[in-house]
Amino acid sequence: MRNTGLRYTSANNHDPMRWFAERSPMRKRRTPTAGLMFGLVVTLAAVISYSSYIGVQIVGLRRLQNDLVDRSRRDTLQLLRIQNDLNSIALGMRDMLDNEGPYPLGAWTAQFHRTRVDLEDAMRLEEKLAVTTRTPEQKNYLSRSVVQFWDAVDHVFALAAGGKEDEARAQIRVSLQARQAALSTAVSRLLVENNESEQEAAGRIARIYDGVQRQVYIFLIATLSAILLTSAYVIRSNKRLFAQLNELSEQRSELAQKLIATQESTLRYISRELHDEFGQILTAIGSLLSRARAHAPTSTFNDELEEVAGVAQNSLDSVRSLSQALHPVMIDETGLECALDWYIPTVERQTGIEITYEKPSRRVPIDGSASIHVYRVIQEALNNIVRHSGAKQAWVRVGLQENVLSIEVEDRGSGIAPHGATTGIGLVAMRERAELLKGRLEFLTPDGGGTLVRLTVPLERLQSDEAQNLSPAR
């Protein structure tokens, strides 16, 4: 008899959880959340700071335009009005000095009065609009000179009213024209100052615009730099995370392979133990009972021995059937096609489900190392039909295209839940086996209802050397 104890060639190979714990990176992974939050805070701070800066510059620019440019322009208009009144006075005085005129000096009184009213109104408005850079001495000089000029004008008209026109004309030549010229010069100087003030304000506005434009470029460069740095950090972090996920996926795949290999190794061992050890024992018991019946003293005892032999034979058949269910030896001996030829009628006989089995006319070119995974997928699909679908009919189709092996198991039962194809240890094992074969496993709903499980595997994966690595350890 064979040794019934399990043999382990490697502790790590037969302890997948320990192997996974040793292979998995246990150090704490640093997430990019902190870096992204820092980049977001920096970007928001830059946007807020720049917005505040732009707001302050716009307010200052508006104040500059209102307080300097617009005010200076309106003050210039009033100065031009004053200068126009002074020119009118100069023309009037020239006409008054014309001895050939038919009118006396008093005839210009009304004209000078109108000019005086307009000039005083212009002076009042100009004082309100005068730029802040004008000194008090300049303001007092202009107003005092205007008052003195009109006092002199009143004196001239008083002389003319007293019949002293020659003396009045002399005052015009000596005093009024000089005062008028001085006032015109002062107004011209103020116009020049206003023009210079406007030019200075325009220069300040231009500098503000240049500064804002320069800050816009700096802000754009800083923002783009922050975006580029953040993007580079995100790309680097994502690359690292995907590398970690890929590493974990490879480890998970390797773990699944080892688990499945361990499972198949264990099932093969138990199957052989049942077939060899218990089968031999039950066979020996049957032989002993046959010999005992030949020497039975009575027919009653012979019938009892025959009954016991029948029980032993039934037990032997059950053990062999269980051994084949755990791991069909014919897969290793004759291949997948013969194993399915035995298994499908067995399921049909045991469950009462009518199974239509369709297979290609030519032999399925699949090695025993990979055939066990295909066999287990079909086995699990039929078990799900028996347990969950409630169907009384099923179809198993094996097809061969040019480079692909196609396996379909279909029923007309209750179907599968929308999320059922991702849960359940049996379905997970089916997916893992399909992934080990580099195949594709699909759970579909046919037009007539029920469930269609479809496995497609490249033939090169079923015949290549890589498929040898999928076989369980012997």
- CATH domain 328-470 topology: Heat Shock Protein 90 (3.30.565)
Q: 413 near 390, Cβ under 8 Å?
A: yes
Domain boundaries, the chain: 33-228, 328-470
Tell me what pLDDT residue 26 has: 41
User: In CATH, what class is 33-228?
Assistant: mainly alpha
Distance (Å, rounded) from C-alpha 383 to C-alpha 346? Answer: 12
Tell me what pLDDT residue 356 has: 92
Tell me what pLDDT residue 400 has: 85
- Same fold for the pair 33-228 and 328-470: no
Residue holding tokens 């006396």?
A: 104
Residue holding tokens 């024209």?
A: 177
| SS3 assignment for the chain | CCCCCCCCCCCCCCCHHHHHHHHCCCCCCCCCHHHHHHHHHHHHHHHHHHHHHHHHHHHHHHHHHHHHHHHHHHHHHHHHHHHHHHHHHHHHHHHHCCCCCCCCHHHHHHHHHHHHHHHHHHHHHHHHHCCCCCCHHHHHHHHHHHHHHHHHHHHHHHHHHCCCHHHHHHHHHHHHHHHHHHHHHHHHHHHHHHHHHHHHHHHHHHHHHHHHHHHHHHHHHHHHHHHHHHHHHHHHHHHHHHHHHHHHHHHHHHHHHHHHHHHHHHHHHHHHHHHHHHHHHHHHHHHHHHHHHHCCCCHHHHHHHHHHHHHHHHHHHHHHHHHHHHCCHHHHHCCHHHHHHHHHHHHHHHHCCEEEEECCCCCCCCCHHHHHHHHHHHHHHHHHHHHHHCCCEEEEEEEECCCEEEEEEEECCCCCCCCHHHCCHHHHHHHHHHHHCCCEEEEECCCCCCEEEEEEEEHHHHHCHHHHHHCCCC
**pTM of the complete model:** 0.50
Encode pLDDT of 38-87 as tens digits: 777 877 787 787 778 777 777 777 776 666 677 778 888 888 988 898 89
pLDDT in tens, the chain (474 residues): 444 433 434 444 445 445 444 554 444 556 667 766 777 787 778 778 777 877 777 777 777 666 667 777 888 888 898 889 889 988 888 888 876 666 788 888 888 899 989 988 988 888 887 766 667 777 788 888 888 889 888 888 888 888 888 888 888 888 888 888 888 898 888 888 888 877 887 787 778 778 777 877 887 788 788 788 877 888 888 888 888 888 887 787 777 777 777 777 787 778 777 766 777 777 788 777 777 767 666 667 777 777 777 787 788 777 777 776 676 777 777 788 888 888 889 888 888 899 999 988 777 767 666 888 888 898 889 888 988 888 889 999 998 887 888 889 999 888 776 555 545 677 888 888 888 888 889 998 888 788 999 999 888 767 654 444 444 444
- Grouping H, G, I as helix, E, B as strand and the rest as coil, residue 457 is strand
Distance (Å, rounded) from C-alpha 142 to C-alpha 136? Answer: 10
Tell me what pLDDT residue 433 has: 84
Residue holding tokens 């066999």?
A: 375
